[in-house]
């Protein structure tokens, strides 16, 4: 095992990560004292999303190990990064790695905190920094190698109430399939997104998952048609809805005057990936979406049509 690893990125200084695990004592030290394969993929995925995505974001990392994920997000402009682990010794390592790679920015943007996954205490008293402030994104790499910890990890993901980017590795046959099924059964909405790795072990055996916790992070509630051609403007109560015309991210809905005149009411979502849309056929009360639309659920109730958008596209 190497004492350090270097992660190169175009046009930026490489990130150098110290690792304290050595072959002789690998069963005695924390699993997090070296960078795992999932950590490499998460690092690359964070870079792929780019500075536009990370700028100003509040990011929490679970099971951080060496701190690589959080350090990468901080370098790309995340405003507040909290890396967590249950093991104090790896948090020291993460802190040292942050200092070496973030320089002066480390003290203003990067923090560490002990955090053991699990349900909220019965009396509701959570004092860990992880649960006392809101987050924009949760990140984590290679946290699912121990099946017994899956329920605890899910508890924590649900408590954090933010979209999650997770890398997971297939170490045993069908492990990833079971993990996906488990997460879905626990009510988490899951997308496997394109891995930044194109070949080799990581491309074959490590997946990038984006997880959302229903109720969704944005919900567009559309006023019901009075009669065809006389639609009311859509209302979007989502807190994350940006002002009209602003940089895409979040949900925005609202038909143009021309679209309103039609029996097909079109709503557009501004997302990181561009503008997506779906249409409600006001006569038939049916929704029509593009095949890769973020809409995953649509319900019609008297007085309201509502839809839910996949969080993977709206964070």
Ligand X SMILES: C[S@@+](CC[C@H](N)C(=O)[O-])C[C@H]1O[C@@H](n2cnc3c(N)ncnc32)[C@H](O)[C@@H]1O
Residues that bind ligand X (CB under 6 A): 30-32, 35-36, 38-39, 63-66, 85-87, 90, 115-117, 141-143, 145, 149, 152
Instruction: Report in angstroms how near the CB of residue 53 gets to ligand X at its nearest.
Output: 20
CA dist 178 and 124 (Å) reads: 31
Instruction: Report in angstroms how near the CB of residue 145 gets to ligand X at its nearest.
Output: 6
Instruction: Report in angstroms how near the CB of residue 172 gets to ligand X at its nearest.
Output: 15
Residue closer to ligand X, measured from CB, 167 or 249: 167
Taking CB atoms, the residue at the shortest distance from ligand X is: 32
Residue closer to ligand X, measured from CB, 40 or 276: 40
Residue closer to ligand X, measured from CB, 86 or 158: 86
Residue closer to ligand X, measured from CB, 30 or 240: 30
Residue closer to ligand X, measured from CB, 55 or 88: 88
Instruction: Report in angstroms how near the CB of residue 240 gets to ligand X at its nearest.
Output: 27
Instruction: Report in angstroms how near the CB of residue 232 gets to ligand X at its nearest.
Output: 48
């Amino acid at each position: 095992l190497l004492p350090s690893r270097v992660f190169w990125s175009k046009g930026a200084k490489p990130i150098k990560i110290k690792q304290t695990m050595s072959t002789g004592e690998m069963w005695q030290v924390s699993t997090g004292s070296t960078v795992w394969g999932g950590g490499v993929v998460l690092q690359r995925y964070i870079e792929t999303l780019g500075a536009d995505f990370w700028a100003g974001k509040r990011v929490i990392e679970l099971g951080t190990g060496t701190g690589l994920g959080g350090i990468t997000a901080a370098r790309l402009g995340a405003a507040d990064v909290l890396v967590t682990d249950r093991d104090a010794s790896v948090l020291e390592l993460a802190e040292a790695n942050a200092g070496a790679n973030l320089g002066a920015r480390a003290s203003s943007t990067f923090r560490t905190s002990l955090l053991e996954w699990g349900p909220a205490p019965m009396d509701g008293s959570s004092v860990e920094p992880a649960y006392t402030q809101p987050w924009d994104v949760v990140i984590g790499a290679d946290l699912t190698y121990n099946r017994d910890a899956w329920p605890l990890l899910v508890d924590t993901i649900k408590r954090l109430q933010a979209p999650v980017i997770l890398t997971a590795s297939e170490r045993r046959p069908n492990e990833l399939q079971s993990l996906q099924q488990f997460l879905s059964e626990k009510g988490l909405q899951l997308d496997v997104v394109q891995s930044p790795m194109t070949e080799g072990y990581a491309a074959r055996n490590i997946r990038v998952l984006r997880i959302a916790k229903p109720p969704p992070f944005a919900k567009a509630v559309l006023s019901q048609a009075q009669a065809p051609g006389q639609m009311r403007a859509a209302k979007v109560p989502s807190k994350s809805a940006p002002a009209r015309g602003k940089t895409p991210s979040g949900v925005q809905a609202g038909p143009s005057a021309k679209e309103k005149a039609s029996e097909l009411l079109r709503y557009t979502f501004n997302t990181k990936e561009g503008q997506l849309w779906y249409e409600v056929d006001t006569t038939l009360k049916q929704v029509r979406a593009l095949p890769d639309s973020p809409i995953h659920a649509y319900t019609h109730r008297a007085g309201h049509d509502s839809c839910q958008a996949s969080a993977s596209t709206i964070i």
